[in-house]
């Protein structure tokens, strides 16, 4: 893809589903992490700037040769941006009538000032990458955030 996108689809390999901070921390510790991310982004979406309900999204880097998935940070996201990031889940929710999938696509196009063709190409590329990555077992590296797990939580 030629153009740089502000909002991208980030599909976690199926072999790494549920390997995340929200699952390994207590509810109280996860609340500290997510509330800190909201503060860091002034209670606005870190991508589109929307205010209102926010989600704490984990930022991962992938080493496709060594199959290491490393947590590098957190970002506050509005529901629409978060649905774009997890568009596979958004599609399932839409198929169940719980979500308007076209509104997710429109949000992607608005934030990125792009056409439906750009969305379709990015969507296809994201799922190709997901299929490839899902063929491997990944080592999850919580990076600097591992201390929160090892100590049962601490200041962020």
**pLDDT (tens digit, 9 = 90+) per residue, 3-51?**
799 999 999 998 888 788 888 898 899 999 999 999 999 999 999 999 9
**pLDDT (tens digit, 9 = 90+) per residue, 101-114?**
999 999 999 999 99
**pLDDT (tens digit, 9 = 90+) per residue, 58-70?**
999 999 999 999 9
DSSP classification of residue 72: E
Q: Of 133, 98, 113, which Cα lies nearest the Cα of 12? A: 133
Share the mean pLDDT of the chain. Answer: 92
Report residue 146 as tokens. Answer: 């591992």
Helix (H) or strand (E) holding 124: helix 116-133
**Is there a contact between 22 and 49 (Cβ–Cβ < 8 Å)?**
no
* pTM summary value: 0.88
């Amino acid at each position: 893809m030629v153009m740089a996108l502000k909002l991208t689809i980030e599909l976690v390999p199926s072999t790494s589903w549920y390997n995340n901070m929200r699952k390994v921390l207590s509810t109280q510790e996860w609340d500290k992490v997510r509330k800190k991310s909201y503060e860091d982004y002034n209670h606005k979406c870190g991508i589109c700037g929307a205010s209102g309900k926010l989600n704490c999204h984990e930022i991962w880097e992938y080493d496709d040769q060594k199959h290491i998935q490393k947590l590098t940070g957190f970002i506050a996201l509005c529901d629409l941006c978060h649905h774009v990031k997890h568009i596979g889940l958004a599609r399932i929710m839409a198929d169940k009538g719980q979500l308007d999938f076209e509104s997710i696509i429109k949000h992607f196009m608005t934030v990125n000032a792009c056409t439906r063709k750009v969305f379709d190409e990015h969507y296809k590329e994201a799922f190709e990458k997901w299929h490839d990555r899902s063929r491997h077992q990944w080592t999850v590296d919580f990076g600097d955030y591992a201390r929160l797990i090892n100590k049962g939580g601490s200041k962020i």
